[in-house]
Amino acid sequence: MTHQLLFVSGSQRRESHNQRLLNYLSQQLDGHCVIDILMPADVGLPLFDQDLEDQPDITDRLEKLHQRINACDGIVIATPEYNGQLPPYLKNLVDWVSRLPRIDSRFSNPFFARPVLLCSASTGWSGGALAIPHARALFGYLGSIVAGDTICLPYADEAWDGEGYVFEPGFDAQLRTTALQFLTLCAALPRMALTGTVA
């Protein structure tokens, strides 16, 4: 059985180090699974506001996002840290999608029992590590199965050669091992039905 992962960047920037990290990880997993990359243009949601919940264009986008999350066996999040916190774009995306079950009872929480691998890249020494505990708390609250291992890439700009990331062999092997172990976790868990029961 071929498993599918959803890759989500917490950055909207065109030259995002976190999007580049996701692209790198997708190369490491090439041939091992199907990867769906959620781009910011696919999201297009306003700042969360319950007064907008009945707008058809909003609910249509939410249903499409819900479908893509629900179709995957696991989610790989790569997010920057802004002042030691998660970026508003990522939090807003999660807030909107998690709200859909309250808007329409046909839908359930798509994050529930979904494995999540947390990653971060930054140009500083921390590699975005300060945002990881906040992301872990957020997805844990939603019922996701957050992997114990994380990927943090410090000084991401120095590892970028203009075409791709170039890492030391040991770090490169560590990233590949973490990605493959996460895929193993996804494969070991049963696909959950929308009701939250084992399919």
Encode burial over 156-188: b for 16+ CB neighbours within 10 A, e otherwise: beebbeeeebeeeeeeeeebbebbeebbebbee
CA distances 111 to 55, 127, 179, Å, are 23, 25, 19
Query: Is pLDDT at 190 greater than 90 in this prediction?
Result: no
Is 3.40.50.360 the CATH number for 4-188? Answer: yes
Residue 193, pLDDT score: 42
State the Cα–Cα distance between residues 25 and 44, nearest whole angstrom.
25
- pTM listed for this prediction: 0.92
Question: Which two structure tokens, joined as six digits, stand for 183?
Answer: 């895929």
**Which residue(s) pair with 9 in the sheet?**
78
State the Cα–Cα distance between residues 15 and 32, nearest whole angstrom.
27
Neighbours of 125 (CB within 10 A): 8
- Residue 12 in contact with residue 40, Cβ under 8 Å? yes
**Which residue(s) pair with 76 in the sheet?**
7, 117
pLDDT digits (tens, 9 = 90+) for 84-109: 899 999 999 999 999 999 999 999 99
With CA atoms as reference, report the closest residue to 53 among 106, 90, 104: 104
Residue 118, pLDDT score: 98
Local structure of 33: helix, strand or coil? strand
Domain boundaries, the chain: 4-188
Q: What is the mean pLDDT of the chain?
A: 92
Question: Which two structure tokens, joined as six digits, stand for 88?
Answer: 């508003």
Phi–psi pair at 16, nearest 5 degrees: -65, 130
Query: Is pLDDT at 191 greater than 80 in this prediction?
Result: no
Residue 97 CA to its chain's centroid (Å):
13
**Which residue(s) pair with 7 in the sheet?**
37, 76
Question: Which two structure tokens, joined as six digits, stand for 192?
Answer: 């959950």
Residue 14, pLDDT score: 87
**Which residue(s) pair with 152 in the sheet?**
120
Query: Is pLDDT at 199 greater than 80 in this prediction?
Result: no
